Structure 1
Amino acid sequence: MYLKHFFVRRILLVKYSFAFVVMPDGFGTLDECFEASIVIQTRTIKNFPIIIFGKAYHKDLFEHIELMKKNSTIGADDTNSFLLTDSIEEAVSLIVEKNIKKYGLSAKNKVKLFKWLFERT
């Protein structure tokens, strides 16, 4: 039962999002951040920004990510979708530029509901 809810939650997370916004937190947040980066890396979803707030909080994490790049355990382009920032304006600007303008999105866009995800109007 847990796995079913896990996968439904992941699908819905992508379906109704313009970007992933990561705030300083714990393992679950990092898990979802890296899960998002994997689906972008494998091109399951494209042009989806991951905005990570808290430059000081995530400093050591990004140093480790740079080490992984240096050791070629991740590709040089694998973090292109990341924005590490402390600026709300910079985050909003990226979302508007990458998704809302590019795809003509607005609150008026209709989303197709999936009954198999138990979605209702």
Structure 2
Amino acid sequence: MAQRMNNRPSHQQGPIRLKGRQMPSSTTDQRLLDSRGPTDWVHTDPWRVLRIQAEFVEGFGALAELGPAVSLFGSARTQPDDPMYEASRQIATRLCAEGYAIITGGGPGAMEAANRGASECGGVSVGLGIELPHEQGMNDWVDLGVNFRYFFVRKTMFVKYAQGFVVLPGGFGTMDELFEALTLAQTGKVTSFPIVLFGSAYWGGLVDWLRATMEGDGKTTPGDVDMLHVTDDVDEVVSYFVAEDD
């Protein structure tokens, strides 16, 4: 019985070998050239791989010659009369004056403020947007914008083309980017990567919890939390990046 099973017809589909009920009724070329039939194939996982590949290619192509850059994160809900809006604009302006491009998520709030600071400074103002159920669109201060379908492709661009992060008060998305960067730095995937938290009143409780609870319970190595630099001083933010380059 075993011998008979091993001699079953098989079909080689690229690197994949198929037998039995997995055998296709047509070849890949036939399905490619046949314009008839359902179009569900455009929504299948193998096709998504090509879309993902295309997003990486577009992102790499758009940002490859960007030069030194800093990614700024913060809430899309930050209003223009919020002190953090002006702080974001000032930080971006100062970094721009030091020769850094500014990368944000391209949305409103703190992101808009940072893009505004970079654009008004005459620097490179980059927005990396994301497809969401409720579209935000690119803010008007983005000079170089790239829209993505997939969060993980977009997050790769934030890290790959930046020399560090500045994180202003924000919500889940901001936290996601923050802990992504922390994980990459902790595991050595990125090196010499400053992570600056602006706004001690907002971030102080989180940092205290990381030290007292997470580190205190042995869930992180002593010193890991020191990768976070908390400040309320715009000049100090800039110094972390300028000092890294000196």
TM-score range, shorter chain: 0.7 to 0.9
Distance across 2 between alignment mates of 1:63 and 1:14: 26
* Alignment match of 1:69 (pick from 206, 215, 227): 215
**2:203 is the alignment partner of 1:79:** no
Deviations 1:56-103 (A, max 9, x none): 1112111211121111111112123210001111111111112x22xx
Distance across 1 between alignment mates of 2:159 and 2:207: 24
Structure 1 residue 47: Cα displacement:
1.2
Query: Match for residue 93 of structure 1?
Result: 239
The TM-score with structure 1 as length reference comes to 0.75
Distance across 1 between alignment mates of 2:163 and 2:197: 14
The alignment partner of 1:21 has SS state of strand
**2:164 is the alignment partner of 1:57:** no
The alignment partner of 1:58 has SS state of helix
Query: Match for residue 25 of structure 1?
Result: 170
* Structure ID, larger Rg: 2
Distance across 1 between alignment mates of 2:227 and 2:241: 11
Q: Spell out the pairing of 1:98-117 with structure 2 (5 A cutoff).
A: 98=244, 100-101=245-246
Structure 1 residue 7: Cα displacement:
2.1
Q: Tell me, which stretches of 5 or more residues in structure 2 are unaligned?
A: 1-47, 53-149
Structure with the larger RCO, 1 or 2 (CA within 8 Å, 6+ apart): 1
Cα RMSD over matched residues? 1.3
Distance across 1 between alignment mates of 2:222 and 2:241: 22
The TM-score with structure 2 as length reference comes to 0.38
Confirm or deny: 8 A CA contact 2:184 2:190 kept in the other structure: yes
Confirm or deny: 8 A CA contact 1:47 1:81 kept in the other structure: no
Distance across 2 between alignment mates of 1:7 and 1:31: 11
Q: Spell out the pairing of 1:42-53 with structure 2 (5 A cutoff).
A: 42-53=187-198
Counting matched residue pairs gives 98
Distance across 2 between alignment mates of 1:36 and 1:10: 10
Distance across 2 between alignment mates of 1:57 and 1:75: 24
Distance across 2 between alignment mates of 1:76 and 1:22: 22
Distance across 2 between alignment mates of 1:84 and 1:66: 13
Equivalent AA in structure 2 for residue 75 of structure 1: T
| Runs of 4+ in structure 1 over 6 Å off | none
Structure 1 residue 49: Cα displacement:
0.5
Mean Cα displacement is larger for which, 76-85 or 23-32?
Answer: 76-85
Query: Match for residue 151 of structure 2?
Result: 6
Distance across 2 between alignment mates of 1:88 and 1:16: 22
Structure 1 residue 50: Cα displacement:
0.3
Distance across 1 between alignment mates of 2:241 and 2:227: 11
Q: Tell me, which stretches of 5 or more residues in structure 1 are unaligned?
A: 102-121
Confirm or deny: 8 A CA contact 2:207 2:225 kept in the other structure: no
